Structures are given as structure tokens and as C-alpha cells.
Structure 1
Amino acid sequence: MKTTLTVLLIIQLYGLASCAIKQHYFINQMKTWDEARQYCRTNYHNLSTFINEIEKQQFLQDAVNQTSDAWIGLNKPSGTWKWTTGEVTTQISWDTGEPDNDFCAYLHKDSKKLHDRDCSNTQTFFCMKVTVNTVMVQQSESWEGALEYCRHHHDDLASLSSSRSMTDALSKITGAQTQYVWIGLRFLAGGWFWISGDDLILNVWSSAGPPQCPAQNQRCAALDKNTQTWTPRDCEEKLNFLCFK
């Protein structure tokens, strides 16, 4: 029953709007789509995304200084257009006659509509900074209990998918009453993933990398405030936790 509940909760997470605030920057450097994504992840948060109409309008406001066609965080890695933050797209403002048969998307400098292009082409791009507030909850819950609490009282369990969010989390957990603190990282269907849908790029595991086949009772991840690393824990363990607000 517990496993079924977890699966249902995880499925419901995808497509939820985040309260994160995004600020977009036009980067006047020529890079392939993959190079642009890596640059953004190193220096900002990610290539720019806008998953609903409100975010789209904010993005277009920030894009007023665009001087050339520019990559955004939208690609088609396996036949389906997805944002680099994990969401499957539902409505995309393609220009007339688009998309064609390529796999990466860019914003046309004149029409402000989306086109697709071969990902190996070089062009300018948009990066985004994502601002969220991390909240330390000094209440002990199971991983699922923490997830439910965060979703009810705040936004979600914290997904520490960037060095900036990790640094922010480390500054907050000093007041934790438990050594380990739940975060939004879960093993399910053969792999670890952030419940936000963000790619698992950052590696702060206590071992060399994510446990490939953790024991059945070690499939939820927590942040160890002593070693400042992620570690697999029993999902039923009662721990403090971090929420995104």
C-alpha cells in the first residue's frame, strides 16, 4: 500500500506549476545547444524555460534585448518535446510551418516565436536564474509525510539540482534537530530522480555516485548535515526536511 501511495504521489507531481521565480538573460555567445545548456548550468541555473502562459509573458519581457536567434531549454530527446527542467510540453508557440524535423528549439529574434534547428548549430541563447526560498522544517516525518507537508504548506520537497540550491540548503540545515534531512530525491522504477523533474546532474552523493540498486528500505534520499552529502535512507525514518516555498 505504501509503495502504491508513493507511486501515485510521484505521478501527480509532474505538471505541477512551481512558485519559483525565473529571470532570463540573453547570452551573446555562439554555442551549440548542448554547450549552451552546460554554460547555463554552470553560470546560472539552466537554459530558459517557460511552462505556462504567465512564465511565457515574463520570458518575453526579459527577451526584449535579443539581437539574434537564441536557444531555449526545449528539445526532443526521444520523440517528445520536453523542457530541460523535466516537464513535457503541452502548448508551444511555434511559428508558422514549425516545427520541422530537428530536435532543439530556439526563439526567432523577429517573430518571437519558436523554431526548431539541428542541435549542433551554433547560436546565442537564453539562460535563467531560478529563485526559490528553502525552508527548514523542524518536524520529523517519513519521506512521504514530508512530501505531503511541503505540498500542503509550501510548494514541494526541496530539489537540490544546482550548486546554488545546494549551497542554500546547507545554510539552512544547521538548525536541524536530526542528522539527516529529507530532500526531494527518490529511487523509483530503476532510477533516482528529483520530484521537480530536474535532471540529476549535480553529484553530491556520500559514495562515488548514486546507488544503482539500493535496498528496498533505502530508496529515499536525505542530506547529511555532518558530511554535507546525499545518502539513501529508509523512507519510513522520521526526519526533519527541507521545503521549497
Structure 2
Amino acid sequence: MAYCRRHHVDLVHITTPELQEKVAAIAKNSTSAHVWIGLRYTCMLNFWFWTSSAPSCYQNWAPGQGPMGDYDCRVTGAVEATGGQQWVGLPDRERLNFICSACAG
């Protein structure tokens, strides 16, 4: 996240099906099995949130993931690089590729 914030804006926030398609296309070219996105989990409050605090009703969780998952603290959201490019929660200590967002223009 620090790299994205220094050089772009933040890790990507997927708030629409159209943006999901763009992220999926990028993730397919990843050298890691998953790609970090700007989703975080708080175990204290037991919910997922975007790092920008932007609200979004769009979700694309893999089965058993997201609100249905059972997580330890320090979990971050990622997109599968293969298959359906659905979202999963993974320990934040894993070293994965990531997708940054940038301002338009």
C-alpha cells in the first residue's frame, strides 16, 4: 500500500462490475496466485472495508470468503489471479503482486 500511496493514489478499490473486469484482466497476467487490492479486515469490529473508506455495495467474494469467512487479525483482500478472479482474504504477511489506482486525467 505504501508504494501505491507514494506513486499513485492507493491500492485499487473495486466498486463496480466494470472495474472488476479491468482488475481481473490485470490479475490474469500476475506472477503471483493472488493480487492485493485495497480491502482490509478489522477483527475488532468483524467487517471488511476499503482503505479509502469509500462505500460500495458491489462484492465479488469467493465461496466461504468475505463476511462468510472466519479470519484472524491482519487479513487483507486479494483477487484470484486465475479462475473467476474472485476476492479472498489472506494474511497480510504474504508477498503478492498488487494493483494501484490512479486519478483520471
Distance in 1 separating the partners of 2:54 and 2:9: 15
| Superposition TM-score, scaled by structure 2 size | 0.83
Counterpart of 2:16 in structure 1 is 162
Distance 1:213 1:178, change over 3 A: closer
Structure 1 residue 211, shift from structure 2 partner: 3.1
Counterpart of 1:236 in structure 2 is 93
Q: Deviations over 1:27-84 (max 9, x none)?
A: xxxxxxxxxxxxxxxxxxxxxxxxxxxxxxxxxxxxxxxxxxxxxxxxxxxxxxxxxx
Question: Which residue of the other structure, out of 33, 36, 40, is the alignment partner of 1:186?
Answer: 40
Flag structure 1 segments of 5+ consecutive residues without an equivalent.
1-146
Distance 1:166 1:213, change over 3 A: closer
Q: List, as ranges, runs of 4+ consecutive aligned residues in structure 1 with deviation greater than 6 Å.
A: none
Structure 1 residue 209, shift from structure 2 partner: 6.1
| Superposition TM-score, scaled by structure 1 size | 0.38
Structure 1 residue 175, shift from structure 2 partner: 1.7
Equivalent pair of 1:219/1:232 in contact (CA under 8 Å): yes
Distance 1:168 1:215, change over 3 A: same
Structure 1 residue 218, shift from structure 2 partner: 6.4
Instruction: Quote the sequence identity (%).
Output: 27
* Number of residue-to-residue matches in the alignment: 99
Equivalent pair of 2:75/2:90 in contact (CA under 8 Å): yes
Q: Give the SS at the match of 2:48.
A: strand
Equivalent pair of 1:191/1:212 in contact (CA under 8 Å): no
Distance 1:213 1:169, change over 3 A: closer
Flag structure 2 segments of 5+ consecutive residues without an equivalent.
none
Question: Which residue of the other structure, out of 203, 215, 225, is the alignment partner of 2:71?
Answer: 215
Q: Give the SS at the match of 1:181.
A: strand
Structure 1 residue 215, shift from structure 2 partner: 2.3
Select the structure with the greater relative contact order (CA < 8 A; seq sep ≥ 6). 2
Bigger Cα Rg = 1
Q: Give the SS at the match of 2:82.
A: coil
